[in-house]
């Protein structure tokens, strides 16, 4: 028996989510009294996983897997799960994990629960808590199959250190022609920018900023905080910002540690998508803005004076706390 965990990497380095899913898998392995086996694709140095509870690391090295390919990656995980009699497979909530998990679910006939926020509150039956209705509620789901797949929500469990052996061994799955019927012709990643899905902090701007020419406020604030930038839906609809920054119920979900909303009213559809963030700071000049009801911290004031001052003070703070 074992818990299998898919540890994602980029350019040969683990993503933070890989360490989070490994931490979660360790928690689960303790509950079920078993070991954690991580699968890492094209990562040479997997030692980082030893700090988060991986007992064994299956290193898959294959140039055919250089580009992410959901079908092939699902096949790799399926073979690893079968070989190690894995009872639970843990994946993250990245776009790639959400792409491969249903394929793996069908392949193994394993029940899959996405957006899971905590360890199972019962292992027999196996029941997990997940978000539903785009963060407007939680839902307890029972997975009744032998093998189970848990998709962990971003930042829901956090990193938990626990030293382990993380013995690396090479794993060579048999890949099939059928795994490669989808070909990647180009990848277009905004380099040097933090993706909303990976960010610990997200700084988001709304219509209150009046126009795209004022977005340096959001960008500068994001820069001092090491944050990703986001926006409300009308802002992307008007073309002030790219669609990829639109967050909310019909945009990207945000589950950061800190979400800073500047000049955003806090409409129900916006809140639905960002409510999973742990701490929310709202800057708005209208004390009646609905967002204040959903916020942890608030500043009632004009963004055009508050934000520049906040940036200056944060620079000072960072300099003193470096």
Partner 1 sequence: MKILVCISHVPDTTSKINFTDGDSKFDTSGVQFIINPNDEFGLTRAMWFKEKQGAEVTVVNVGESSTEPTLRKALAIGADNAIRINAAPTDGYYTAVQLAEVAKDYDLVIAGKESIDYNGGMVPGILAELTGFNFINSCIGLEVDGSTATVTREIDGGKESLQTTLPLVIGGQKGIVEEKDLKIPNARGIMMARKKTLTVQEPVQSETLTKAVSFEKPAAKGTVKLVEADNLDALIDLLHNEAKVI
6 with 57: CB under 8 angstroms?
no
Q: Which of residues 91-120 bind ligand FAD (CB under 6 A)?
A: none
For ligand FAD, which stretch binds (CB under 6 A), given 35-43, 142-150, 178-186, 246-254? 246-254
Apex 21 CA angle, 20 and 23, nearest 5: 65
For ligand FAD, which stretch binds (CB under 6 A), given 18-26, 142-150, 222-230, 283-291? 283-291
Is residue 232 a contact point for ligand FAD (CB under 6 A)?
A: yes
**Among the listed residues 291, 282, 289, the one whose alpha carbon sits nearest the alpha carbon of residue 310:** 282
9 with 45: CB under 8 angstroms?
no
Q: Which of residues 181-210 bind partner 1 (CB under 8 A)?
A: 181-190, 193-198, 200-201
Position among 20, 249, 261, 263 found at the interface with partner 1 (CB under 8 A): 249
* Nearer CB in complex with partner 1: 56/273: 273
Among left, alpha and beta (phi > 0; psi -120 to 50; other), residue 158 is left
The HSE-up count of residue 287 (CA atoms within 13 Å, CB side) is: 0
Angle between helices 216-225 and 303-321 (to 10 degrees): 20
Q: Which helix (H) or strand (E) holds 312?
A: helix 303-321
Tell me the closest approach of the beta carbon of residue 207 to partner 1, in angstroms.
Answer: 16
Tell me the closest approach of the beta carbon of residue 138 to ligand FAD, in angstroms.
Answer: 20
Is residue 302 a contact point for ligand FAD (CB under 6 A)?
A: yes
Is 70 marked as a binding-site residue?
no
Is residue 215 a contact point for ligand FAD (CB under 6 A)?
A: no
* Nearer CB in complex with ligand FAD: 52/240: 240
20 with 159: CB under 8 angstroms?
yes
Q: Residue 79, Cα to own-chain centre: how many angstroms?
A: 25
For ligand FAD, which stretch binds (CB under 6 A), given 13-21, 214-222, 280-288, 310-318? 280-288
Is residue 238 a contact point for partner 1 (CB under 8 A)?
A: no
Position among 182, 250, 293, 297 found at the interface with ligand FAD (CB under 6 A): 250
What is the b/e burial string over 178-217, where b = at least 16 CB atoms within 10 angstroms of the residue's CB? ebeeeeeeeeeeeeeebebbebbbbbbbbbbbeeeebbeb
Is residue 160 a contact point for partner 1 (CB under 8 A)?
A: no
Is residue 174 a contact point for partner 1 (CB under 8 A)?
A: no
Is residue 118 a contact point for partner 1 (CB under 8 A)?
A: no
Pairwise CA distance, residues 47 & 50, whole Å: 6
Q: Give me 53's structure tokens.
A: 């509870």
Is residue 61 a contact point for partner 1 (CB under 8 A)?
A: no
Q: Which of residues 188-207 bind ligand FAD (CB under 6 A)?
A: 206-207
Residues annotated in a binding site: 207, 263-270, 284
Q: Which residues bind ligand FAD (CB under 6 A)?
A: 206-208, 232-235, 248-251, 263-265, 267, 269-270, 273, 284-286, 289, 302-304
Residues annotated in a binding site for FAD: 207, 263-270, 284
């Amino acid at each position: 028996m074992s818990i299998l965990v898919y540890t994602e990497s980029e350019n040969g380095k683990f993503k933070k989510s890989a360490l989070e899913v490994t931490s979660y898998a360790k928690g689960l392995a303790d509950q079920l009294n078993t070991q954690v086996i991580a699968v890492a694709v094209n990562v040479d140095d997997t030692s980082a996983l030893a700090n988060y509870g991986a007992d064994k690391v299956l290193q898959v090295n294959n140039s055919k897997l250089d580009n992410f390919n959901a079908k092939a990656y699902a096949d790799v995980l399926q073979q690893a799960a079968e070989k190690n009699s894995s009872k639970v497979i843990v994946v993250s909530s990245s776009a790639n994990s959400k792409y491969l998990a249903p394929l793996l679910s069908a392949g193994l006939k394993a029940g899959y629960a996405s957006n899971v926020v905590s360890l199972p509150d019962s292992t027999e039956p196996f029941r997990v808590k997940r978000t539903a209705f785009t963060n407007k509620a939680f839902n307890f789901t029972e997975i009744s199959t032998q093998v189970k797949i848990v998709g962990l929500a971003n930042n829901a469990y956090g990193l938990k250190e626990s030293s382990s052996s993380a013995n690396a061994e090479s794993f060579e799955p048999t890949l099939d022609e059928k795994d490669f019927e989808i070909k990647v012709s180009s990848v277009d990643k905004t380099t040097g920018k933090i993706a909303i899905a990976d960010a610990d902090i997200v700084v988001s701007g709304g219509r209150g900023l009046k126009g795209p020419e004022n977005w340096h406020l959001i960008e500068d604030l994001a820069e001092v905080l090491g944050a990703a930038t986001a926006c409300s839906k009308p802002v992307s609809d008007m073309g002030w910002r790219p669609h990829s920054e639109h967050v909310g119920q019909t945009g990207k979900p945000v589950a950061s540690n800190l979400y800073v909303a500047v000049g955003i009213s806090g409409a129900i559809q916006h809140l639905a998508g960002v409510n999973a963030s742990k701490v929310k700071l709202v800057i708005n000049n209208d004390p009646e803005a609905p967002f204040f009801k959903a916020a942890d911290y608030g500043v009632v004031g004009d963004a055009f004076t508050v934000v520049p001052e906040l940036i200056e003070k944060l620079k000072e703070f960072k300099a003193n706390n470096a």
